[in-house]
Structure 1
Amino acid sequence: MKASLLRISGQVQGVGYRDWLVREARRHGLWGWVRNRSDGTVEALVAGELDALQAVLTACRRGPPSARVTGIDEQFAEPPSEPGFSRRPTL
Structure 2
Amino acid sequence: MQSRVSAHDAVGFDCCCKRGLRDRMNIIAAAEAHVVWKNRLGNYVRGLGLETLGAATLGQDGVCQLGNLINGSALLAFHDMPEYDQLREAHEQ
**TM-score, normalized by length of structure 1?**
0.30
The answer to which structure has the higher helix fraction is: 2
User: Which structure ranks higher in relative contact order (CA pairs < 8 Å, sequence separation ≥ 6)?
Assistant: 1
**TM-score, normalized by length of structure 2?**
0.30
The answer to which structure has the higher strand fraction is: 1
Structure number with larger C-alpha Rg = 2
